[in-house]
Amino acid sequence: MAIDEIWRIYKGDVIDVGYSPHKSQYFNPNIEYVFNRDLTEYDMRDAGYAIIKHYGLLDANTIKELSALDKMERTIAIGKLRGKDKDLSKLLTDKFAEMRSLFVSANRLSDSNIISVKNDAIYTIGECSKLKFGQVEFVPKNKYSSYIRFTDNMNIEVYYSSGGLDVKGIGEVGLNRHRLYTLAFLSKVIYYLESKNPSLKRYLRTFIDEYKGMKLDDEYYIEFNNMSSMYNPIYNYQKMLIPLIQISLREMT
Residue 154's domain comprises: 145-253
Domain limit, last residue, from 142, 162, 184: 142
Q: Answer yes or no: is 4 within a domain.
A: no
Q: Identify whether residues 186 and 247 lie together within a single domain.
A: yes
- Of 142, 163, 196, which residue constitutes the final position of a domain? 142
* Among 82, 117, 142, residue at a domain's last position: 142
Query: For the chain, how many structural domains are there in total?
Result: 2
3-state secondary structure 115-139: EEEECCEEEEECCCCCCEECCEEEE
Q: In this predicted structure, what is the pLDDT of residue 18? A: 78
Rounded distance between C-alpha atoms, residue 136 and residue 55, angstroms: 10
> Is 153 in the same domain as 245?
yes
Tell me what pLDDT residue 17 has: 46
Report how far residue 118's alpha carbon sits from residue 23's, in angstroms, rounded to the nearest whole number. Answer: 9
Phi, psi of 53 (to 5 degrees): -65, -45
Do 114 and 58 sit in the same domain of this protein?
Answer: yes
In a domain, 152, yes or no: yes
Same domain, 118 and 216: no
| Residue 52, H or E segment | helix 47-55
- 153 and 136 fall within a common domain: no
pTM of the predicted model as reported, rounded to 2 decimal places: 0.89
Task: Round to whole Å and give the CA distance between 110 and 124.
Answer: 10
Element containing residue 86 per DSSP (H, E): helix 86-106
Same domain, 167 and 214: yes
Is there a single domain that holds both residue 127 and residue 152? no
Residue 58: partners with Cβ closer than 8 Å, 6 or more residues away: 52, 66, 81, 88
With respect to residue 57, please indicate whether it lies within any of the assigned structural domains: yes
Whether residues 162 and 205 fall in one domain: yes
Do 110 and 21 fall into the same domain?
yes
Taking each helix axis from N to C end, the angle separating 182-195 and 242-252, rounded to the nearest 10 degrees, works out to: 10
DSSP string, 177-206: HHTTTHHHHHHHHHHHHHHT-THHHHHHHH
Same-domain pairing of 17 and 119: yes
Strand partners, 157: 149, 168
> How confident is the prediction along the chain (253 residues), in pLDDT tens digits per residue?
444 444 443 444 434 447 899 999 999 999 999 999 999 999 999 999 999 999 999 999 999 999 999 999 999 999 999 999 999 999 999 999 999 999 999 999 998 999 999 999 999 999 999 999 999 999 999 999 999 999 999 999 999 999 999 999 999 999 999 999 999 999 999 999 999 999 999 999 999 999 999 999 999 999 999 999 999 999 999 999 999 999 999 999 7
User: Is 37 inside any structural domain?
Assistant: no
Question: Do residues 25 and 90 both lie within one domain?
Answer: yes
Question: Is residue 110 in a domain?
Answer: yes
- Whether 176 and 106 map to the same domain: the answer is no
